[in-house]
Structure 1
Amino acid sequence: MAHALSLGRRGLGRCWPNPAVGCVIVNQGRVVGRGWTQPGGRPHAEPVALAAAGTLARGATAYVTLEPCAHHGQTPPCAEALIAAGVSRVVAPLTDSDPRVAGKGFAMLRAAGVEVTTGVLADQAADDHAGFFLRVEQGRPWLTLKLAMSLDGRIATATGESQWITGPRSRRAVHGLRATHDAVLVGGGTARADDPSLTVRDLGVAQQPVRVVVSRFLDLPLMGNLARTAKDIPVWICHGPDASDQSQQAWKELGARLIPCQLDGGRVDPAAVLQALGEAGLTRVFCEGGGQLAASLLAADLVDELHVFTAGMALGAEGHPGLGALGVEHLNEAPRFEPVDLIPVGPDVRHVWRRVSQNRLV
């Protein structure tokens, strides 16, 4: 199952809105087939592994990182494919919470005489599928927030100099995080100030994440990196209802997808943004700021995982803070996370934090 999970992770960021599933088929102690969900979500992991196994799938055990699907969509049910191939046993950690499946895949297998074992490495599988489950159950994608700051929580000097606070190894790690998410999200201020590309570079990635910008008025540079590449790599802009028709038309002609969202307190509502991204099929979103967008997501309790890259320098109170105003007056109002990991990254340190996990029934 650990091998199947590692295979499934190859699909993270590439197979939305489907879950990134891995499958390993074992016959008499020998791996005879392997597969993972392919880009775009088709084909699923099970038929890929079954095709590799061929006739050796008969009488074999299939280790699958999520309950095999039981519904007819663009492809036949994977449960049917496993039965037709003659697999004698299926081991899966979790039930699929998608109501089209939700136990039906396991029931189909058992009705055909296939032995089913569940609960194996369930916690690891729940982590890998957290974005898929969150979208199915709450309508929004998993949100990972990245912050890169000095020791005293600053992202720029008093004059605005910010490149680079953290080192090249941290920046490479950020590209790795981008690659495992469906989309990269920034605020309009960051898009205007930094003119970012928001692409994964130097990692051999063929499929780039969607670039998402939150900008109430769509007042983004029409000659910037995002505008110039919008027809080649998707750009989605979440804007307010008061964005001008002229700006909307200009960005549509550039190839961007426009997503109108309601306002909250004069800003685009972060909860509405995530719901809209979930409706569009995204399961994992990686937010890289800026400070105001990060603060609004934290204040709305929408951050599921936090990656803080800290450099060994101090910039002082006159520097630009890494987070905008949160409106916290009492400690019990502050967003809180539990530590997951602490990783040295060259001269920097990467802290990983996550909100309290919930046990999932298998």
Structure 2
Amino acid sequence: MYQFLISNRDELIARCRAKVAGRSPPGTAGEELKHGITVFLDQVIKTLALERTADPMRSRKVSGRSGGGKPALSEIGESAAQHGKELMQHGFTVEEVVHDYGDLCQAITDLAFKQDAAISIDEFRTLNRCLDNAIANAVTEFGYQRDSVVADQQAHALNERLGFFAHELRNQLCTATLALSVIKGGSVGLGGATGVVLDRALVGLSNLIDRSLAEVRMTAGLPLHNRLFSVVDFLAELKLSASLEADVRGCKLNVSSVDPQLALDVDRDLILAAAGNLLQNAFKFSHPHSEVTLNAYAMADRVLIDVEDQCGGLPPGDAEKMFEAFTQGAEDRSGLGLGLSISRRSIEANGGILSVRNVPGSGCVFTIDLPRHSVSRSRAVPVPPSG
């Protein structure tokens, strides 16, 4: 095999390059071969040459020992690790890393058969040892580099979100602190405009914390804590918590009457936070002195909770974009743009659906769709599906 590889080196490299080129992503340069097949083939030849000497074990410094591993990384191991890194950087997959070395093995086998070249069993064992160690080191480094890239992307995304959160938190806190300082000076009272500013800042802080806690629960995959509760009580709690924000925003909140037997069996905290966020958005984007409506009703085996605002409606195609993280489609850019995304995830985790319907010239209707239950003294009574 030693003489065969020397005599056919260029032909083998050409065959391998043709195979690699056929799998390369569009626009990929030839950099991926810098530590690839050419180097590896020369190292195989060098290994075979050393095994023909009086001290054949010196070849292990080039090829590595059988099974690879430490104590010392071989020449093949070092160059294969670099090759794995290069393939990762150029957009190849881990399968293509393996194929890259398999191409050479296939090229050697095909050409040797074509030329009727005699290759001994020991030489094939040496080739397999070299391939085994090269593939193992290339794949290991490829995986390490891929994990590093993913970790960096996740860290960047987390830092960006924390930055937005800290910025919004600081703004609300600074506003509340300044308003409180003016009020403490005695020149204005709590019932005046400065008191309204303080209320608005405190409501903003509360909303920000509620959304963040809901997101932590959803992201961490914490188990749901389902319990049966009446929709009447649920709406009453929503109305109580939303009334202050309605006053701060200069809006009127209308809450519909509900069948007292109507119930939900979900994680109350998550659904309360989701519905609360829909109301916050409704007050935020509705025109001053307009009305926001909270309406709950049953339809077959589902409970629907509508939050209708008077924002004036949405441009065509903007409805679904509203549920994307960090998306804000109105002039008021306060907040993180995460509320609707978190709300949808919270509702879906409870077997529900969050949708939006645009009413051109009027506003939007956000609908929470959840499984219907009836109030029972001892247990939840699900309503069977119709049909």
TM-score by length of 2: 0.22
Structure 1 or 2: more helix by fraction: 2
Could you say which structure has the larger radius of gyration?
Answer: 2
**Greater RCO, 1 or 2 (C-alpha within 8 Å, sep 6+):** 1
TM-score by length of 1: 0.23
Structure 1 or 2: more strand by fraction: 1
